[in-house]
């Protein structure tokens, strides 16, 4: 997919989210909150659900927790608009209660479609409900700050997942705030690790997809040819707000990755 195609596909999903009545949460919402961010990013942040300010504005992480997330991103010199941010449920649970299993299930197809469009290298979960969507059975007190492979059944076809505490928890606890800062510092390395793993898998797939060439007895057999050439990155259009984080830019963006 090109940048423009991803942008268009994400907007289709967003329009469907805004009119969704798939669970009880639509009855009390002011605005659904589909998510927002760079269509060509490699990193997707997934929270739990919208709060009061998010419900009012229809945007994710715009309250105090959003300010904390921006602060954490700034600690590794990543702008908010170069990642994609969404939630496991797209409508605010009443009184900011925890989302219920059937509400999470109702929103799950939207999240899976966003994952399919973005195809992120790294999914960063924010809070235990988001983490549970990608690390079933894990405890956030044990899994935070660790990178793991994602089961493709979760919708993230070839991504790694990295768990963080929810920024709201960092607002309530100095200890969690310090832990979150340390965990966020590990995100660039987690991205590099995921990139390397994806490259290895792509090379293995390419090596497997070869065509044996039939040759006569007097003709030296050529080397096997790949069925398709390696995919080339799509150049960003001049009118786009910013270029996505790309592996080849790592050296130039040492500040961005904190390496």
Question: Residue 156's pLDDT is what?
Answer: 76
Q: Is the distance from CB of 29 to CB of 55 less than 8 angstroms? A: yes
200 in any annotated domain: no
Residues 113-159 pLDDT 10s: 999 999 999 999 999 999 999 999 999 999 999 999 887 777 777 89
With respect to residue 225, please indicate whether it lies within any of the assigned structural domains: no
Tell me: pLDDT of 258 over 80: no
Residue 79 lies inside a defined structural domain of this protein: yes
Indicate whether 105 belongs to any domain. Answer: yes
Domain that holds residue 76: 3-195
- CATH number for the domain harbouring residue 74: 3.40.470.10
List all residues 6 or more positions away from 211 whose beta carbon is below 8 Å from its beta carbon.
224, 225, 227
What local confidence, expressed as pLDDT, does residue 239 receive?
43
Structural domain tally of the chain?
Answer: 1
42 domain residue, yes or no: yes
Is 139 within a domain? yes
User: Roughly what angle, to the nearest 10 degrees, separates helices 101-118 and 3-18?
Assistant: 160
Give me the pLDDT at residue 211, please. 55
* The pLDDT of residue 213: 52
Residue at 99 is within a domain: yes
Residue 243 lies in a domain: no
């Amino acid at each position: 997919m090109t940048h423009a195609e991803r942008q268009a596909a994400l907007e289709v999903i967003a329009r469907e989210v805004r009119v969704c009545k798939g669970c009880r949460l639509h009855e009390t919402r002011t605005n659904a909150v589909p998510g927002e961010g760079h269509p060509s990013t490699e990193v997707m942040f997934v929270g739990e659900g919208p709060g009061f300010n998010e419900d009012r504005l229809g945007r994710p992480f715009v309250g105090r927790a959003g300010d904390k997330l921006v602060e954490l991103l700034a600690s590794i010199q990543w702008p908010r608009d170069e990642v994609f941010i969404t939630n496991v449920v797209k409508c605010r649970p009443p009184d900011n209660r925890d989302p219920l299993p059937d509400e999470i299930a109702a929103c799950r197809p939207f999240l899976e479609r966003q994952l399919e469009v973005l195809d992120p290298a790294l999914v960063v979960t924010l809070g235990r409900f988001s983490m549970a969507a990608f690390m079933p059975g894990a405890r956030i007190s044990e899994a935070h700050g660790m990178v793991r492979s994602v089961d493709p059944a979760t919708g993230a076809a070839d991504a790694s997942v990295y768990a963080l505490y929810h920024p709201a928890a960092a607002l309530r606890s100095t200890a969690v705030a310090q832990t979150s800062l340390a965990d966020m510092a590990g995100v660039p390395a987690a991205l590099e690790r995921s990139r390397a793993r994806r490259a290895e898998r792509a090379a293995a797939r390419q090596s497997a997809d070869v065509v044996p060439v039939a040759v006569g007895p007097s003709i030296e057999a050529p080397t096997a040819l790949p069925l398709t050439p390696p995919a080339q990155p799509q150049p960003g259009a001049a009118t786009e707000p910013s270029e996505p984080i790309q592996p080849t830019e790592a050296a130039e963006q040492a500040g961005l990755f904190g390496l």
